[in-house]
Chains A and B, each alone.
Chain A
Amino acid sequence: MKNIISFLMILLIFLALVACSNSSNNASENSDAEEEVKELEVWVHVPADDPEGENYDVRAKEFEEAHENVDVTVEHIVKTGGGSGYNDRVNAAITTGELPDIIALESVYTASYTDSDILLPLNEYLDEATFDSYLDTIISAGSVGDNIYALQSFDLSSPVFYNEDLFEEAGIEVPADENGNWTLDLAWSYEEFLENARKLKDHMGQEPVHMFTENNGWHMYAHSPIIFSNDARMVGENGLDTEGYLDSNNTKEALQFIDTLFRDGIVASTTREDAFALEEAAISFEGPWMVDVFENEYPELNWSIMPYPYGKDGHQSAPHGSWYIAATQNTEYPELSAELVAHLTNKDSAVKMEEEAGLIPGHQELLDSSETYSDYPRKLMLDQLVNTNHLKPKSPIFPVLEDALGDIMEGIALDNGSLESLINDAKEKVEREADRFK
């Protein structure tokens, strides 16, 4: 009897629970029908307390306020060396099909991601006027073929620093326009660069030019423009063909110029940290963030910025590229996601990023009013971003191209084999990978 009562009690409780859960489901279904909340998830590679991370949070909040029933979550997945922490998470999400609506990605990987149908073509959801606002260089970096996949509110262009005192002591006349500025059109050719570097070497008694020689992405970012300025390419339009590109005469000529820099003792075979800051180098290919370092930590250093040396007239090139924002094919709300990408990278973001991080605004309209980049020498960074060629390969095998160029540059620096053999090795490496995509 006792057992029967217990059984009935349990049955009663169970039925009551089922009834409750059904009624709550019904209630939520009803409310869903009334106002469906659209949830958008954004993954970025910067921490929340970084100006860039903070900017994404502010824009996400604005977007929520401007749209009813839209909930935007920004997840800050901090990248570690080489972007690995963040990239690992994205890779895992690609494998499990759990990518968020919006991701941050290095602009150079846009081609790889589009080749794998991961990104949403933004031009299918946004009008032309939206894109017209951005710098051509940003549109170009975020596009593959006829589609635009990624945007950003700012960009970077790495400068070539020079030491005014050492130039003067070595008797080098600095090219200048009527306002006394070393402008883009007064850039040194390969020959002029070599001639003046030799004068500096004679004066200083050591390698006058500093370059980072380790094999990493820096060669592609900061040194490849020297090569591309000789009308040289690593791969063809499809991002995969090397024949006639990596081994072209123009590429060889450009690499020969770099080889001469090392063989003539103009650049040291290994990296000399702080060589420029300590006045042990008169010219240095370093990142734009060094401007603040030189200003704050080396106030005595009389630095300025010169244009990138070039190989052939009309082919001047300069570094560019950053982390961009893109919507993924995983999103349930493509239109809304595309709109959010544009909002995260809008003019307000550009202003904030210039004010707080000193980055070049990525919207045409803001260039003239830019406070940081209105005067030389900093204006030169803006000029080279806007007015030079940006020929980093758009290729699904970009990581291999980056390594192949790194192998060549490191080989030149260490004098490890002839230029011909270094190019052939790099070509072989690229072709092996390219074959997988053909």
Chain B
Amino acid sequence: MHNLKQKMKQNKTLDFIFSGKILFLLPAFTLISIFVIYPLMLAVGYSFTDYYLLKPNDISFVGFDNYMEIAYDKYAKKAFFNSAKYVIYIVPLQVILSLFLATLIAKKSKTNTLFRTAFFSPYILSIIVVSLLWKNILDPNSGIVNEFLASLGFAKQEFFSDPNLALPTISFIILWQGISFQMLILMAALQDIPSSLYEAASMEGANAWQKFKHITLPSIKGQVVFVLIVVTTGTFKIIIEPLVLTNGGPQGSTSSILLYMFEQGTRYRQIGYSSAITVIFAFILIFIAFVQRKLVKEEEG
């Protein structure tokens, strides 16, 4: 029985290949090959070399030296740790708050249209514009937030210069901008839930929490998992905000792993070393996505 199933599967694959349908995949496959697979293979190759950007014709194989160096690099460790901090600060809040906002505005009404537009507007702004906007708002000397704090008699806060405040502040800005897109995805999922389910639940005497727990959440589980994976991997990939707002400082407290990799590759010109960081980073992301999917599947089972 098992062999039969496998044979049928093989036949289907062969049919797909020879029927010409595979041609439809070709454009996407070509683009992915050029812009994702090929650079990744190059990065893997370079990670075993001492490639220095200014000496492209003098590259030597160094084995696992770059990987060993990462293990002893306290700045790399700090950057990995910072990226994990960003994930801890941002992911749970972003998923919960986007779900909360989506629930609030899922129903079609004129007021909700207004709210939807308002909530979504940060997303259409460029990350650099948003970063500069918040930099002004939170400026220790002339920023509106500090002016307000001062008027209440509180001390002015160095949001981007205080090593303890800088990372949470950047996390807040990322959260503020990113929440709207996830909200939109979840809102679309919420609108797909048949209203008859809620009507039936109401007739059975279910309260709002019970409806949310037993109808809403199970119905949008797929989308929640999607949002969770996208937000987690996206948060690990943070680079522009710390680059624009603090350049990784103060004292490296906001540097993310991607920013550190970028700095090693472009500023210090150590392509071999930064490629090794890229490879480790790619494995971490694949691992996280895999674990998240596995956990959700197990729960479904």
Q: Which of B158, B250, B267, B270 contacts A215 (CB 8 A)?
A: B250
Residue pair A416, B163 in contact (C-beta under 8 Å): yes
| Given A270-B140, A410-B251: A399 touches B268 (CB 8 Å cut-off) | yes
Answer yes or no: B292 CB below 8 A from chain A CBs.
no
What is the minimal beta-carbon distance from B245 to any residue of chain A, in angstroms?
A: 11
Complex Cα gap A258–B161 (Å): 19
Residue pair B50, A436 in contact (C-beta under 8 Å): yes
- Stretch from A89-97, A153-161, A184-192 at the B interface: A89-97
How many A-B residue pairs lie within 8 Å, measured between CB atoms? 65
Complex Cα gap A115–B50 (Å): 16
Complex Cα gap A118–B142 (Å): 46
Answer yes or no: B55 CB below 8 A from chain A CBs.
yes
| Interfacial chain B residues near A272, Cβ < 8 Å | 141
Complex Cα gap A432–B68 (Å): 13
Complex Cα gap A113–B267 (Å): 13
Residue pair A270, B52 in contact (C-beta under 8 Å): no
| Interfacial chain A residues near B52, Cβ < 8 Å | 116, 436
Residue pair A399, B267 in contact (C-beta under 8 Å): yes
Q: Which of A95, A274, A403 contacts B56 (CB 8 A)?
A: A95
Q: Which of B57, B75, B158, B267 contacts A270 (CB 8 A)?
A: B158
Residue pair B270, A436 in contact (C-beta under 8 Å): yes
Closest to A437 in B: B52
Answer yes or no: A25 CB below 8 A from chain B CBs.
no
| Interfacial chain B residues near A274, Cβ < 8 Å | 141
| Interfacial chain A residues near B141, Cβ < 8 Å | 272-274
| Interfacial chain A residues near B57, Cβ < 8 Å | 97
Answer yes or no: A407 CB below 8 A from chain B CBs.
yes
Answer yes or no: A383 CB below 8 A from chain B CBs.
no
What is the minimal beta-carbon distance from A410 to any residue of chain B, in angstroms?
A: 6
Answer yes or no: B22 CB below 8 A from chain A CBs.
no
Q: Which of B56, B73, B270 contacts A94 (CB 8 A)?
A: B56
Chief secondary structure at chain B's binding surface: loop
Closest to A272 in B: B141
Answer yes or no: A400 CB below 8 A from chain B CBs.
yes
Complex Cα gap A97–B251 (Å): 37
Complex Cα gap A215–B267 (Å): 14
What is the minimal beta-carbon distance from B71 to any residue of chain A, in angstroms?
A: 13
| Interfacial chain B residues near A112, Cβ < 8 Å | 54, 269
Residue pair B53, A95 in contact (C-beta under 8 Å): yes
Residue pair B250, A414 in contact (C-beta under 8 Å): yes
Q: Which of A116, A214, A271, A400 contacts B54 (CB 8 A)?
A: A116
| Given A273-B141, A410-B250, A429-B75: A116 touches B55 (CB 8 Å cut-off) | yes
Complex Cα gap A215–B251 (Å): 8
Closest to A95 in B: B56
Complex Cα gap A271–B161 (Å): 9
Closest to B251 in A: A416
Query: How many residues on A have C-beta within 8 angstroms of the other chain's C-beta atoms?
Result: 35
Residue pair A433, B54 in contact (C-beta under 8 Å): no
Closest to A87 in B: B266
| Interfacial chain A residues near B269, Cβ < 8 Å | 91, 112, 399
Q: Which of A397, A399, A400, A411 contacts B251 (CB 8 A)?
A: A411
Answer yes or no: A243 CB below 8 A from chain B CBs.
no
Complex Cα gap A113–B140 (Å): 40
Closest to A116 in B: B54
Which among B56, B73, B139 has the highest number of chain A CB atoms within 10 Å?
A: B56
Interface residues in A66-93 by Cβ distance below 8 A to B read 84, 87-88, 91
Residue pair B56, A414 in contact (C-beta under 8 Å): no
Complex Cα gap A116–B269 (Å): 12
Answer yes or no: B122 CB below 8 A from chain A CBs.
no
Q: Which of A97, A273, A411, A414 contacts B142 (CB 8 A)?
A: A273
Complex Cα gap A403–B55 (Å): 22
| Given A273-B141, A400-B268, A416-B163: A214 touches B247 (CB 8 Å cut-off) | yes
| Given A273-B142, A399-B268, A436-B270: A94 touches B249 (CB 8 Å cut-off) | no
Answer yes or no: A216 CB below 8 A from chain B CBs.
yes
Interface residues in B206-239 by Cβ distance below 8 A to A read none
Which among B56, B139, B250 has the highest number of chain A CB atoms within 10 Å?
A: B250
| Interfacial chain B residues near A400, Cβ < 8 Å | 268
Complex Cα gap A115–B55 (Å): 9
Residue pair A118, B54 in contact (C-beta under 8 Å): yes
| Given A216-B247, A414-B250, A416-B251: A84 touches B53 (CB 8 Å cut-off) | no
Complex Cα gap A84–B55 (Å): 19
A270-B158, A410-B249 given; 14 more Cβ-contact pairs under 8 Å: A87-B266, A88-B266, A95-B53, A97-B57, A116-B52, A213-B161, A214-B161, A270-B140, A270-B161, A273-B139, A274-B141, A397-B268, A416-B250, A429-B75
Residues of B within 8 A of A (CB): 50, 52-57, 73, 75, 139-142, 158, 161, 163, 247, 249-251, 266-270
Pick 25 A–B contacts, CB within 8 A, sort by A: A84-B266, A88-B266, A91-B266, A94-B54, A94-B56, A97-B56, A112-B269, A115-B54, A116-B52, A215-B249, A216-B247, A269-B161, A270-B140, A271-B161, A273-B142, A399-B267, A399-B268, A400-B268, A403-B267, A410-B249, A414-B250, A416-B163, A429-B75, A433-B268, A436-B270
